[in-house]
Amino acid sequence: MQKIIVATLTTGTRNTTFNECLKSLQTLTNIGDYQIDILVVENNKQADEQIQKILTSYNTSEKSVKYLLEPIKGIPHARNAALNFAKQEGYSYLAFIDDDAFASPDWIKTLVKTNDSANVASGPQLAIFPEGTSSFYCNATVYHERKLADGAEIKWAATNNVLIDINFMKANKLGFNPALINGGEDKELFLRVNQLGGKLVWSETAVVSEYIAQSRLSIKWAMRRTFRIGATGFMIESAIRTPFENYTTCIVKGTLYLAKGLFFLPYHALSPKSSLLNSLCDLSHGVGFFYGLFSKGRVSKYT
């Protein structure tokens, strides 16, 4: 029997959605000849009482809920803790889902089917906005997943919805880059997987959904996020490019995002199907790339 471990990371800052996430994982469709377990990685120096209280309610649940405390702060460290656990405990696959998301019952079943022909399978994370959210935010690309054809081969994946072949990771001694403490560690890793000949496939029907927190519905949050994505681009691209190629790529991408933001500004400002925030985010994304050239991809805080 092959074993699958589904991991979610938490710091105890969003326990309501964390509990909803665990509930959804308990209802995952079982798959013949596969054992599905759940892993919670708490990224705190000490165990949080509220997290422990939530976990005790799953002691008698159908699917085993395992627990790790990763005291070194930072998403790459927490993700590596899950990856190392999967390697050491003999799991065939490791899946990741965010602690503010919940899975559809067939999520893992669909990813496993996709993974039959790939080393990494990934799918969309659908946004669920608070009731009454304006179209200014609902139509903004920053809150939505990229749109791809079902079965399309991709160069990178995000850990909000992914299933990873552990044998490929072990054979190539792969892990998340701890230097990318402010985000982008997932894209950087999967670009390396692709460069090493790993096959990544998109499954449009392997769906998870994310609750968009009210605190994220602001121009400041959206622009800081896209700025950070651009700024970390330097370190991400360096995983697969020479220094000259990296500088050139960041300059080109930064310029294109700035041009795109300016060119489409009238359309985004006037179209009821779009949002001015799309142009603002393209501009901040472009500026981020140029900032990353000087900072070598380092930013002060994850957003």
**Tell me: the pLDDT tens digits for 167-176?**
999 999 999 9
Tell me what pLDDT residue 301 has.
Answer: 57
Same-domain pairing of 208 and 223:
no
Tell me what pLDDT residue 297 has.
Answer: 62
Q: Percentage of the chain with pLDDT > 90?
A: 90
First to last CA, the chain: 40
pLDDT at 295 over 90: no
Same-domain pairing of 228 and 94:
no
Structure tokens at 163: 């299933």
Angle between the N-to-C axes of helices 219-231 and 276-295, in degrees from 0 to 180, rounded to the nearest 10: 40
Same-domain pairing of 234 and 208:
no
**Residues 18, 45: contact at Cβ < 8 Å?**
no
Backbone angles phi, psi at 101, to 5 degrees: -125, 165
pLDDT winner (highest mean) among 178-192, 236-250, 252-266: 252-266
Domain containing 212 equals: 2-216
How confident is the model over 73-93, as a mean pLDDT? Answer: 97
Same-domain pairing of 170 and 267:
no
Same-domain pairing of 156 and 250:
no
Which pTM value belongs to this model?
Answer: 0.93
Is 302 within a domain?
no
